[in-house]
Chain A
Amino acid sequence: MTQPLLEVRDLRVDFRGEMGTVSAVSGISFTVQKGETLVIVGESGSGKSVTSLAVMGLIPQPPGRIAGGEILFHARDGQTHDLAKADARTMQHLRGAEIAMIFQEPMTALNPVYTIGAQIVETIRLHEPLSRRAARLRAIDMLALLGVPEPQRRFDAYPHELSGGLRQRAMIAMALACSPSLLIADEPTTALDVTVQAQILDMIARLQKELSMGVIFITHNLGVAAEIADRVLVMYAGQTVEAAPAADIFQDPRMPYTRGLLKSIPRLGMDRDAGPLPTIPGTVPNLGEMPRGCAFHPRCTHALPDPCMARRPDLEPVTERHVVRCARWRDIAGQPA
């Protein structure tokens, strides 16, 4: 295989708080290839957003700290940078130009006192030696590419003058203005209506092909994951609990947590007279109060005192491209979740 665009090895991120130091991400590894979409799925507190912020070098320090591991990014000039240790200058050079990020709430990324055009132009000129005029044309092209109607007029609009969907497009235009090779999208469609979400997902998929970007897409929505993922990584309590090509995750999930999640989602056209929705009992654990052994065992119907409560399970290969963190995955393979 060619060298991956991004390779994260055993990343650990700690946060210091009132309860002492907690690990938000405790040893996660993954790769993203050029042109590939990796979807990271998890609930609140799973560490999915912290992982993406670490890649962007945006962990607030303090209270946060990258406590270990490597984030190897293969830049266009052929150099490999370890983003876990990169200095501010290197990060500034890479952010925007080679690695871009889009967020759930576009207003966190857009400045309310500048027009969206001015902000896109600023991003372009920060990284590329273009004239104001050329940058303006590029920005209008980007807005048009993202399906913003009347891009010339919208170039001069302030963020508050746009609808949620248009603001999201403007933010994506800004993120993609320098054709980054890696795009990190943290719940970019979660606050949007389903019809707008469908438009944005289509657009991200199209642009990814055109620009052959690697994409890390973070979501709690398994439906969205199924729409766009090449591979899916499921996080729980700061760790990878299962990772596989999308088809394997949805058709042959092995981790009881993944199975439980997939079963508990109401789907269109399901028979509600068949009884209550299957649920995962209990709640997501607090980072400060991690259970011993497998972090999922208090909520798992397959958990046994030994090994589940005794030891933290390792990630084990199910197939060459499918890994699962469950000590009992072989025993429960044929059983219902």
Chain B
Amino acid sequence: MTALLAVTDLVKHFPTKGRVFRAGAPLQAVAGVSFTVQPGEVLGLVGESGSGKSTIGNMVLRLDQPTAGQIVFDGQDITRLSDVSLQAFRRRAQPIFQDPFSSLDPRMTVEQIVAEALVIHRLASSRGDLQAQVVSLLELVGLNASHLRRYPHQFSGGQRQRIGIARAMAVKPDLIVADEAVSALDVSIQAQIVNLLRDLQKRLGLAMIFISHDLAVVEYIADRVAVLYLGRIMEIAPARDIVRAPKHPYTEALLSAVPEPDASRTRKRIVLQGELPSPTAPPSGCVFRTRCPYAIADCAAIVPVLQPVGPGHEAACIRTGII
């Protein structure tokens, strides 16, 4: 199968301020990341703040320009698209954002919000067809025609996220990039939206990059998961294997830190020491070594590369056998 999306050696540096009239060391938000997404596949990106997961999502959507590397979508390198081809690409790759309060224009009705992309991409044959499409999109996400003339502020957080999902689905995209799409929702609402996303993804055969700091949600929704630390992939594997048999010390620590609603739990907790190193001056060798409980002298000298450790399972650690 050919990949719908193939990302190769992706790098993003942000300039920083140094001393007067001089640039500081660049902030390496993404430092050489490669992965693929197959049609209909969900790739989860997990990591903590500063891991580069959102920057990757933004570059895949061409909301941000990479410093280096390739992003090939359906055979085309989207980092070099002209404006005309960019518009065609935008019809096929759609974002769903975290904050359903700031990502919807408060002065537009629900109908206008969902119809906007259909109009821009000329996907409706008539005014009647346009409204019919909008209504069926609202129904797709659990809303209905009675909501057409309402404004975003008249909806709860969960309903607004449904509107955001309807807007993304309007152009029948092939790829969705969902960045913390359920993180801002109330606990009792989150499960509704997770189910909706998973149902739509399966029913419509969408490929999706699902970005989240919540490992349990990612495991539930993603087929494969990439674990990021300081702009690098530490481990990538089928979701089940990442959770049940992590091979990278960072993944192990991350999993052990997830608080679980079970008072009788006796799982061992690995509390990471120290702070996330500055992305302007990452450690030599393995970037995780300064906080890794298993680090040895070699870890400062050798830059670990992703190596196969099981079927479809790769980890970037010179001591993978340790876990």
- Identity of the chain A residue whose Cβ is nearest the Cβ of B250 in the assembled complex: A195
| Measured CA separation A280–B254 after assembly (Å) | 29
Partner of B188, one of A43, A202, A268: A43
| Measured CA separation A269–B194 after assembly (Å) | 16
Interface pair B159/A222, CB less than 8 Å apart = no
Is the C-beta of B36 less than 8 angstroms from some C-beta in chain A?
no
Chain B contacts of A33 at CB under 8 A?
Answer: none
State the Cβ distance, B144 to closest chain A Cβ, in Å.
15
- Identity of the chain B residue whose Cβ is nearest the Cβ of A191 in the assembled complex: B49
Is the C-beta of A284 less than 8 angstroms from some C-beta in chain B?
yes
Is the C-beta of B83 less than 8 angstroms from some C-beta in chain A?
no
Chain B contacts of A225 at CB under 8 A?
Answer: 261
- Interface-forming stretch among B110-118, B166-174, B268-276? B268-276
Chain B contacts of A267 at CB under 8 A?
Answer: 216, 260-261
Is the C-beta of A193 less than 8 angstroms from some C-beta in chain B?
yes
Chain B contacts of A317 at CB under 8 A?
Answer: none
- Interface-forming stretch among A18-26, A177-185, A270-278, A320-328? A270-278
Interface pair A223/B260, CB less than 8 Å apart = yes
Chain A contacts of B220 at CB under 8 A?
Answer: 266, 270, 272, 277
Is the C-beta of A260 less than 8 angstroms from some C-beta in chain B?
yes
* A-contact 0/1 string along B198-220, CB 8 Å cutoff: 11000000000000011111011
Interface pair A268/B258, CB less than 8 Å apart = yes
Is the C-beta of B109 less than 8 angstroms from some C-beta in chain A?
no
Residue of B156, B216, B263, B269 most packed against chain A (CB within 10 A): B263
Interface pair A265/B261, CB less than 8 Å apart = yes
Partner of A220, one of B187, B254, B257: B187
* B-contact 0/1 string along A273-297, CB 8 Å cutoff: 0001111110110000000000000
* B-contact 0/1 string along A240-251, CB 8 Å cutoff: 000000110111
Q: Count the B residues whose beta carbon is within 8 Å of the partner chain — how many?
A: 46
Interface pair A194/B265, CB less than 8 Å apart = no
Is the C-beta of B243 less than 8 angstroms from some C-beta in chain A?
yes
Is the C-beta of A145 less than 8 angstroms from some C-beta in chain B?
no
Residue of A166, A193, A221 most packed against chain B (CB within 10 A): A193
Is the C-beta of A199 less than 8 angstroms from some C-beta in chain B?
yes
Residue of B198, B256, B259, B264 most packed against chain A (CB within 10 A): B259
Is the C-beta of A264 less than 8 angstroms from some C-beta in chain B?
yes
Interface pair B156/A284, CB less than 8 Å apart = yes
Chain A contacts of B189 at CB under 8 A?
Answer: 283-284
| Measured CA separation A38–B158 after assembly (Å) | 29
| Measured CA separation A84–B255 after assembly (Å) | 43
Given contacts A149-B274, A194-B254, A268-B219, contact A250 B263 (CB under 8 A): yes
Q: Is the interface of A mostly helix, strand, loop or mixed?
A: helix
Interface residues of B in 232-262 (CB under 8 A from A): 243-244, 253-262
Partner of A264, one of B188, B253, B275: B188
Is the C-beta of A111 less than 8 angstroms from some C-beta in chain B?
no
| Measured CA separation A222–B216 after assembly (Å) | 13
State the Cβ distance, B221 to closest chain A Cβ, in Å.
8
Interface residues of A in 212-241 (CB under 8 A from B): 220-227, 229
Interface pair A284/B186, CB less than 8 Å apart = yes
Interface pair A276/B198, CB less than 8 Å apart = yes
Given contacts A223-B260, A226-B260, contact A193 B213 (CB under 8 A): yes
Chain B contacts of A250 at CB under 8 A?
Answer: 261-264
Is the C-beta of A165 less than 8 angstroms from some C-beta in chain B?
yes
- Bin chain A's interface residue count: 35 or more
| Measured CA separation A247–B258 after assembly (Å) | 19
| Measured CA separation A33–B194 after assembly (Å) | 39
Is the C-beta of B307 less than 8 angstroms from some C-beta in chain A?
no
Chain A contacts of B158 at CB under 8 A?
Answer: 283
State the Cβ distance, B271 to closest chain A Cβ, in Å.
5
- Identity of the chain A residue whose Cβ is nearest the Cβ of B220 in the assembled complex: A266
- Identity of the chain A residue whose Cβ is nearest the Cβ of B46 in the assembled complex: A194
Is the C-beta of A201 less than 8 angstroms from some C-beta in chain B?
yes
Partner of A194, one of B157, B190, B213, B244: B213
Is the C-beta of B85 less than 8 angstroms from some C-beta in chain A?
no
State the Cβ distance, A223 to closest chain B Cβ, in Å.
3
Is the C-beta of A94 less than 8 angstroms from some C-beta in chain B?
no
Chain B contacts of A280 at CB under 8 A?
Answer: 188, 191
| Measured CA separation A281–B214 after assembly (Å) | 22
| Measured CA separation A221–B260 after assembly (Å) | 9
Interface pair A226/B262, CB less than 8 Å apart = yes
Is the C-beta of B48 less than 8 angstroms from some C-beta in chain A?
yes
Is the C-beta of A44 less than 8 angstroms from some C-beta in chain B?
yes
| Measured CA separation A116–B264 after assembly (Å) | 38
Given contacts A194-B48, A195-B272, A246-B263, contact A277 B194 (CB under 8 A): yes
What residues make up the interface of A, taking CB atoms closer than 8 Å to B? 43-44, 149, 163-166, 193-199, 201-202, 220-227, 229, 246-247, 249-251, 260-262, 264-270, 272, 276-281, 283-284, 299
**8 cross-chain pairs, A with B, having the tightest CB-CB distances, nearest first:** A223-B259, A193-B48, A264-B191, A222-B261, A198-B257, A43-B186, A277-B191, A280-B188
What residues make up the interface of B, taking CB atoms closer than 8 Å to A? 48-49, 156-159, 186-192, 194-195, 198-199, 213-217, 219-221, 243-244, 253-265, 269, 271-272, 274-276
Can you list 10 residue pairs at the A/B interface with Cβ under 8 Å?
A194-B254, A223-B258, A223-B260, A226-B261, A250-B261, A268-B243, A272-B198, A276-B198, A277-B191, A278-B191
Instruction: Apart from A193-B213, A266-B219, A268-B219, list 11 A-B contacts with CB within 8 A.
Output: A44-B157, A194-B257, A196-B48, A197-B257, A197-B259, A198-B269, A221-B187, A223-B261, A247-B264, A250-B263, A279-B191
